[in-house]
Amino acid sequence: MLKYIKYFVKYVELNTKVASFFPFMIAMFYYIFYFSDDNGINYVNFVIYFIAMLCFDMATTSINHYVAFHKEKDDISLYDDDTLRQMKELNITMKDNLAITIVLLSIATILGVILVINSNIAVLLLGGLCFLIGISYSYGPKPIAYGPLGEVFSGATMGGILPVIVLFTQYDHIPFELNPLLVVVFIPLTFLIANILLANNICDLEKDENNNRFTLTHYIGKKWAVRGLYLSNLIAVSFIAVSYTLGFLDSQWYLLLCLMIAPLTLNTMMFSKKLSKQESFPFIIKNFIMFSVFYLMAILLLK
C-alpha cells in the first residue's frame, strides 16, 4: 500500500503544490486581518476551498502526465523515467492514471458546488474559469502548455484568481464592496509563479522542441528568458510598494519586503549559471517560497 501512496504522491507532484498553498494562505490571512471584522469568518468555506483547490491542482498535473504519455515521441520522452519504472513495478496502467484524474476532478467538482451554495455565484464563475484554464492547459487540440502563454495563464490563475476566490468564499453575496484593485496585493505571487514555469521551460527547451512543444523560451531564446526572470522579480517586489501606495497594505514596514530583490536576484544568478533542472532549478522555487513566507509573516505581524 505504501508503494502505491508513494506513486500517487509522485504522479500528482504533491511536493510542487506550494505554488497554490502559499497564495491560499496569504489570501486567507489577508482576509482575516483586513475584512473579517465587518463580515465574520467562515472557516468551513476555507477548508472546503482548500481541499477542492488541492484536488484540482493535483488533477491538472495528472492530466498533464496522461497527455504527455500519449504525445511523446520514440526518440525522446516527455514522461518521467522513474514514473514509468514505478508503473511497471506496480503494474499500474494508463487507465489507472486516468481513474486518478477522474476521482480528483470529481472531488473538486462536488466540493466546488458545495462552496458555491455556501457562498455566492462569483465563486462559480471564477472557479469555472480556473477549471477551464486548468484542463485546457494540457488537454485539447492546442494545449496552453504547448504554446508561449503557459507562464501567463499559470501565474495569473494560481497567483491571482485563486487567492481572489479565497476572499469571495467568505461572502454570501457577490462582494461588490471589495475594490477590484485589491488584486495588486497578489500580483507579486503571480509573477513569481510564472517564473517557476519559465525556469522549467528554460531547462526543458531542447526536449520540448523535440516534442513539438514551443514555449515562450522557444520564441525569445534562453538569454532573454533568463532576463525575463530578473524582470519578473523586480515587478513582484515593486507591487508591494504599489499595494502600500493604494492603501491595501497599511504599514510602511511592508516596504521592507522590497529589499528581497537582493536574494531573489542572487538566486536567479545561481540558476542562470547552469540552467539545469536538477542542479539550479530549485533556486527559482526557493525564490517563490522565500518571498511567500516573508510576505505571509509580514501580514501576520504587521496587522
Phi/psi at 173 (5° precision): -150, 165
pLDDT tens column, 108-145: 999 999 999 999 999 999 999 999 999 999 888 888 98
pLDDT for res 185: 97
pLDDT for res 96: 86
Whole-angstrom distance, CA of residue 112 vs CA of residue 91: 33
CA dist 51 → 101, 105, 193 (Å): 15, 12, 20
pLDDT for res 106: 97
* C-alpha cell read off for 51: 481541499
Whole-angstrom distance, CA of residue 235 vs CA of residue 169: 28
Whole-angstrom distance, CA of residue 29 vs CA of residue 43: 11
Helix (H, G, I), strand (E, B) or coil at 17: coil
Helix (H, G, I), strand (E, B) or coil at 108: helix
pLDDT tens column, 234-249: 999 999 999 999 999 9
By CB neighbour count within 10 A (0-12 exposed, 13-18 middle, 19+ buried), where does 116 fall? middle
Instruction: Give, for all 303 residues of the chain, the pLDDT tens digit.
Output: 788 888 888 888 888 888 899 999 999 999 999 999 888 999 999 999 999 999 999 999 888 888 877 665 544 455 556 666 777 777 888 888 889 999 999 999 999 999 999 999 999 999 999 999 999 998 888 889 889 999 999 999 999 999 999 999 999 999 998 999 999 999 999 999 999 999 999 999 998 888 888 999 999 999 999 999 999 999 999 999 999 999 999 999 999 999 999 999 999 999 999 998 889 999 999 999 999 999 999 999 997
Residue 136 zone, left/alpha/beta (φ > 0; ψ -120 to 50; rest): alpha
pLDDT for res 131: 94
8 A C-beta contact, residue 143 and residue 67: yes
